[in-house]
Amino acid sequence: MPLSVGIVGLPNVGKSTVFNALTAGKAEAANYPFCTIDPNVGVVPVPDPRLAQIQKHIKTQKIIPAIVEIVDIAGLVKGASQGEGLGNKFLANIRETSAVLMMVRCFDDPNVIHVAGSVDPMRDIEIIDLELALADADSAEKRLKKAAGLAKTGGKEAKADAALAEKVFNHLNSGKPARSLELTDDERKIVGTWGMLTFKPVLYCCNVGEGDLPDGNKWSDLVKARAAAEKAGVVILCGKVESELAELAEGDRAELLSSYGLKEPALATLARECYRLLGLQSYFTAGEKEIRAWTIRKGAQGPEAAGVIHTDFEKGYIRAQVYSVADLEQYHTEAAIKAAGKLRMEGKEYVVADGDIMHFLFNV
């Protein structure tokens, strides 16, 4: 499965409203009713102003942005780790994603019933974390029993595995997410292979009322403080407003955005934050036919980046011609960039920078 972000939250927090606005009602899967066991999957473009900057100087027939895959997972209920609600199926849907977008309700509306009877985003986050941690603790306990058995007859490595499994199990059993456990880099790599739900990176999304835009309210401030303590990201939005914006043509959005003190739809920020959460970045190719953002993991080297376009490019990679958007802004054409000595030749060891504009030279 490709890298994806799962939208997780209690019922009636606005998950599906935000998902439908993100995908403009064009999810890849059919729109299932509430509490479906099959999550919606949407492919969402990642807004990037650098694409328009490139187009100013390189006229093209079309622009293709990067995309991020978003999965709308049915609402979690208290007791999910014990099979309540959708139980194991719900947990399996989260397990298949690479990161979690935790949607929390930060608005009061008597017409939208809160499953717990009152608005309290911190309690809601605790419920989600606890259910996921309990599910993880169950799988960690099985891992611990197996590791402990091997440690009795095994060497130093087997004993270290058992100690790590015990450390993770005890932390999860106290209701805390695995991502909050202090681990060494080596331990982090090992635990990262265990498929822990609570080890996935998290982005918090506060769904506020229309009157609380653009900065949020007392509830979202609490979530911001929690996110800061966890070194996690947070996005403030109003699902209702984002739905209205999604229905408007791009040219008609400015007035509505301005009335709420917004420069762009909050969903643009959300898409970019989800992309970042997955550890992704973009490089560009630019020509008369298309200007395109290609998705690579942070730290990818030249051949790996070339392979995103075609496997032959990676196999036969010789070098890449590279320049930056800033170079293009300054010199306006590739010919002028080359004449100024700014067109770089990069080999196989080159770590691609976010926003590089690249041409690959290869031989198959």
Q: What is the mean pLDDT of residues 31-60?
A: 77
Q: Is the pLDDT of residue 310 over 60?
A: yes
CATH number at residue 21: 3.40.50.300
Q: Are 333 and 299 in contact (CB under 8 A)?
A: no
Q: What is the pTM of this model?
A: 0.88
72 and 221 share one domain? yes
Number of domains in the chain: 3
32 and 90 share one domain? yes
Q: Are 34 and 73 in contact (CB under 8 A)?
A: no
Q: Is the pLDDT of residue 26 over 60?
A: no
178 and 319 share one domain? no
Q: Are 169 and 137 in contact (CB under 8 A)?
A: yes
213 and 109 share one domain? yes
Half-sphere exposure of 79 (CA within 13 A, CB side): 4
Q: Is the pLDDT of residue 143 over 80?
A: yes
38 and 167 share one domain? no
103 and 27 share one domain? yes
Domain membership of residue 286 (yes or no) is no
Question: Residues 117-133: pLDDT tens digits?
Answer: 899 999 999 988 888 88
How confident is the model at residue 80, as a pLDDT?
55
Tell how far CA 193 is from the center of its chain.
19
31 and 71 share one domain? yes
194 and 107 share one domain? no
Question: Residues 61-81: pLDDT tens digits?
Answer: 999 999 999 999 877 766 655
Give a three-class secondary structure readout of the chain.
Answer: CCCEEEEECCCCCCHHHHHHHHCCCCCCCCCCCCCCCCCEEEEEEECCHHHHHHHHHCCCCEEECEEEEEEECCCCCCCHHHCCCCHHHHHHHHHCCCEEEEEEEECCCCCCCCCCCCCCHHHHHHHHHHHHHHHHHHHHHHHHHHHHHHHHHCCHHHHHHHHHHHHHHHHHHCCCCHHHCCCCHHHHHHHCCCCCHHHCCEEEEEEECHHHCCCCCHHHHHHHHHHHHHCCEEEEECHHHHHHHHHCCHHHHHHHHHHCCCCCCHHHHHHHHHHHHCCEEEEEEECCCEEEEEEEECCCEHHHHHHHHCHHHHHCEEEEEEECHHHHHHHCCHHHHHHCCCCEEECCCCECCCCCEEEEEECC
Question: Residues 188-242: pLDDT tens digits?
Answer: 999 999 989 999 999 999 999 999 999 999 999 999 999 999 999 999 999 999 9
How confident is the model at residue 157, as a pLDDT?
85
Last residue of a domain, one of 160, 180, 198: 198
Q: Is the pLDDT of residue 36 over 50?
A: no
How confident is the model at residue 37, as a pLDDT?
38
Domain membership of residue 20 (yes or no) is yes
Domain residue limits at 155: 128-198
- The whole-chain average pLDDT of the chain stands at 90
Q: What is the mean pLDDT of residues 156-176?
A: 90
109 and 135 share one domain? no
Gap between the Cα atoms of 169 and 176, Å rounded: 10
309 and 252 share one domain? no
80 and 137 share one domain? no
